[in-house]
Structure 1
Amino acid sequence: MLSRRDRPLMQPRLLMIPVAILLAAGFGLTLLIFYPGVMTYDAKFVYEDIAKGTMGDWQSPVMVWLWALIDPIAPGAGSMFLLIATTYWLGFGVLSLALASRGKASALLLPLLAMTPPALAFAGIIWRDVLFATFWLLAATVAFAVSDRPSQTRLTGQVLALVLVIVGVLLRPNALLAAPILAAYIVWLSQFSLRKAAILYIPAAFGLFGIVQLVYYGILDAKRQHPLQTIMIFDLGGISHFSKENQFPIDWSEPEKAMLLNNCYQPTQWDIYWRLEPCDFVMRNVEREKGLFGTPAISRAWLEAILRHPIAYLQHRSAFMWNFLAADNLTMWTADVEHPTKNVFADRTAFNALVAAHDVLKPTPFLRVGFWLLACIIVCCFSWRRSGPREAAFALAVCGSATIYVLSFYALGVASDFRYGYWAVLAAIAGGVIVISGGSKGGERLR
């Protein structure tokens, strides 16, 4: 008969069995539903760059390089899908097994939540936003798993986690504003504090910015395609609409000016001015006829417009942010990019079942970015007051970084698809489960 001292050691081992079964089932289900992955137009453009042997900074050149590296595994969408699905389930798996090793029944909850539509419906879609989110999930969970391990194991895990954070920023450079929070956690683990994160924030942000410049334009020699000016074009259109004055450094015809000021603007995406009729005349003039796109003329016009009409700028940005957080935006991608009028995997039962579940949730808060932003804020509040240092540090790091990342779209967003907030979904699930798993409040408190 087992002694009282031996029983706690047996419980974690027994708990790991159902956890491992759930994780394996989840990974298998993801393969069944999605393999070889759902190609999107953005992903198609990235993959075409591999064949061309060119790299630009419109999409991440690191994704081009990474995809080319792994492409022989399953040429086409398959290799990138396998990378996304593997990092997705490794992220949840590492965290689940770390909880199971401590006898926490909440370890069973993580794989189940990972199989719900708000998370799983994107795990097979090839978007760099999804890959970025799974990389950061894995980074945070590896750091959590090694936080109570011997120093050599802990250091190895921390290095791996920091590399994953950096790669995430290289995939999504606008994540630079959120990365220092996650990096501070990885460096200090359970000794993480808001004061330390604040001290690290500016140096880390500048350091990550430097890494992006070095990798993009030094190592990979990416062509500058001026993606930042898409933000400026969107802002110039928005400020023109709300101020009822043309802010572009272009003299429009009277019909074009009337369209620009009254009819073109929607707080949804900058593509309205780029490729969508009837307002594609904006970029046709800016880029092709006047040759202004990518020049200082656009940057100067943007800055002057904000200084002259700050209220109009805030109206535009607030309208966009509300749409991003609360509107019924694009969520799961189901179109076949080779045959746009058809759905991908139309004859696959498992895929169609997930699409049906997704469609049921589509009108609900579960597929609104604002819901997951609020969930992350709540997790941060609860972790601050009710968790031990190890759990609180993890929850604050993932949900704090997700909060900053989503809020950064107030100034940086040019489209309002749900995928741009996907990191908040994974962070809220992982951080929320860690908070409810409990933990001693003893030891150093977070400050």
Structure 2
Amino acid sequence: MTAIRRPPVIAAALLCAATLAIFWPGIVEYDTLRQYEQAIAGRFDDWHPPIMARLWQALLPLGHGPAPLFALQVAGYWAGLALIADALAATARPRTAWAVVAIGLLPPLLGWQVAVLKDAQMVGAALAATGLVARYRLRDQPVPRAAALAAAVLFAYALLVRANAPFALAPLIAALLPLRHARGRAAATVAILAATLILASPVNHALLGATRSDVALTPPRYDLAGIAVRVPGASIAGLPADVAGTLRRDHCVTPYFWDPLGDTPGCAAAIAPWGTSGAATLYARLGAAAFRHPLAYARQRAAHLNMTWRWLVSAWLPGAAPPTGSEPNDYFSLRLTPVAGAWQRAAGWATETPLGWPFAWNAAALLLLAVAIRRPPAPTRRLALGLLASALLLEASFVAISIASDLRYHLWPIVATALAAVLLLDRHPSRRLVTAGVFIALLLGAPALVARVTLAAPPQEYDDLLRWTPPLALLPG
């Protein structure tokens, strides 16, 4: 492996050190505390990724608290960007290399990357793995065995640390493999995606020792309930016809998230008849209900997709701004430095701009895909295509499988799209591209701005969100 001494790489290393120093030992949220409890107790379930709790358990000798995982995800984040920048600098593209490093400073990205969460863990591991391979692929060099093995381990962790990670990483891994033809990469994508989805459960339960929770039941329950409230008087998936009235009266279905169905006693009681059904049965019932009531199903998914992509939504919709402090707990006390607090607040404001709008990044990814397809074959084009396919396939998965609207679920597509943009727009864009970009910005951005100005402000507290029916919920009047 050749030495790395280029200025952009040194800058990334310094930024990594600054991130660790300013935000040490990381920010902890509610979900992370549940995983920490499993790590110290040695008892795991699959509601959250057991691979993360197992890793945390293995790192406990280095110190209790979030610091070990925080250090790993921050180091992976900056190392991945540094390695890609190094390859670009080595191929006489210094401005592009600097732009790659600058991506790491995007406030919404860095603001979430310092929170110890499965989403940030995935970004850190996937970026590091991508950088290890791309450093050689971008220079048309074979990948050393040690680098390939390290990347494989990192990709395996990233695939297991989020349930929907296979949709994101399968096309990217295929793009990094030494496959010459697009058909071979497409076949590899399908094979990696299928293998990961099939093996995830045996790995989580047999290998990692996690007990089964009902996490796999939440998506079909959410959509079945969404159909029920939109088809009053119908019996949906075995629920009595009058249950729809209960679900509507108690605000059990909201496009924002599925939580009222699990955390509100009346709602949980209403869907109790589904409690004895397994995931396969519920998905079969969902398919039948969607076939019988396609408009109700479409309204359910469209309302949620609008919310998770944050298009026609109110300003300051919760779940976008990075956390400004850790969840109170009995295990450790974590306080942000003044500089860290100021950065997180600034990042929160940035999420109210297109930097924090997933629909804007999706539109950019589609526009960049059209650019990449027209480019002649080159290592940068191939990596850009892999990154764009990664971003778009993950976002496409939300069309059918998504139950919450947090911005952190979109961190990887944002990173991947930003990297692809840097790789493809290293020279002045064509007039046609600029025109298309302006048209799309007006077509999608103008309604988004109008919605944020005119729609009523959402509640900011969790208990209030459980009872909130947002505008454009596409529910019956």
Normalised by the length of structure 1, the TM-score is: 0.85
**Runs in 1 of length 4+ with deviation above 6 angstroms?**
none
SS in 1 for 2:423: helix
How many Å separate the matches in 2 of 1:231 and 1:141?
34
1:121 aligns with 2:111: yes
Change (3 A) 1:329 1:196: farther
Counterpart among 248, 257, 266 of residue 261 in structure 1: 248
SS in 2 for 1:412: coil
Moved more, 43-52 or 211-220: 211-220
How far apart are residue 137 of structure 1 and its match? 1.8
Q: Which residue of 2 aligns with 1:217?
A: 205
Q: Which residue of 1 aligns with 2:293?
A: 309
How many Å separate the matches in 2 of 1:387 and 1:338?
53
How many Å separate the matches in 1 of 2:303 and 2:339?
38
How many Å separate the matches in 2 of 1:102 and 1:201?
28
1:323 aligns with 2:307: yes
Task: Name the Cα RMSD after superposition.
Answer: 2.7
How far apart are residue 269 of structure 1 and its match? 0.6
Task: Name stretches of at least 5 consecutive residues in structure 2 with no aligned partner.
Answer: 428-477
**Partner amino acid, structure 2, of 1:308:** R
Q: Which residue of 2 aligns with 1:84?
A: 73
How many Å separate the matches in 2 of 1:185 and 1:300?
34
Counterpart among 261, 264, 267 of residue 282 in structure 1: 267
Q: Which residue of 2 aligns with 1:50?
A: 39
How does 1:20-419 map onto structure 2 within 5 Å? Answer: 20-105=9-94, 106-147=96-137, 148=139, 151=142, 153-188=143-178, 191=180, 193-244=181-232, 245-247=234-236, 249-251=238-240, 257-261=244-248, 263-275=251-263, 277=264, 280-284=265-269, 286=271, 291-292=275-276, 294=278, 298-326=282-310, 327=313, 328-331=317-320, 332-338=322-328, 345=335, 348-386=337-375, 388-419=377-408
SS in 2 for 1:274: helix
Change (3 A) 1:33 1:241: farther
**Partner amino acid, structure 2, of 1:330:** G
2:168–2:394 contact (8 Å) kept in structure 1? yes
SS in 2 for 1:225: coil
**Partner amino acid, structure 2, of 1:138:** A
How far apart are residue 211 of structure 1 and its match? 2.8
SS in 1 for 2:404: coil
- Identity over aligned pairs, percent: 24
How many Å separate the matches in 2 of 1:387 and 1:28?
38
Give CA-to-partner distance per residue, 1:142-172, whole Å, 9 cap, x none: 2211224654x44443343333222212111
Give CA-to-partner distance per residue, 1:309-349, whole Å, 9 cap, x none: 12211110111111111243412122431169xx9635x22
Normalised by the length of structure 2, the TM-score is: 0.80
Q: Which residue of 2 aligns with 1:443?
A: none
How far apart are residue 223 of structure 1 and its match? 1.0
Moved more, 370-379 or 314-323: 370-379
1:46–1:59 contact (8 Å) kept in structure 2? yes
Give CA-to-partner distance per residue, 1:414-438, whole Å, 9 cap, x none: 1010000100111122222222347
**Partner amino acid, structure 1, of 2:175:** Y
How many Å separate the matches in 1 of 2:369 and 2:303?
26
How many Å separate the matches in 1 of 2:175 and 2:22?
34
2:228–2:244 contact (8 Å) kept in structure 1? no
**Partner amino acid, structure 1, of 2:101:** P
**Partner amino acid, structure 2, of 1:55:** F
Give CA-to-partner distance per residue, 1:206-257, whole Å, 9 cap, x none: 22223313311221232111322100111011111222235253448x6x64
**Partner amino acid, structure 1, of 2:261:** Y
1:95–1:141 contact (8 Å) kept in structure 2? yes
2:26–2:66 contact (8 Å) kept in structure 1? yes
Change (3 A) 1:95 1:201: closer
1:383–1:391 contact (8 Å) kept in structure 2? no
**Partner amino acid, structure 2, of 1:124:** V
Change (3 A) 1:213 1:336: closer
Change (3 A) 1:298 1:281: farther
How many Å separate the matches in 1 of 2:10 and 2:44?
41
Change (3 A) 1:290 1:115: closer
**Partner amino acid, structure 2, of 1:197:** R
1:162–1:183 contact (8 Å) kept in structure 2? no
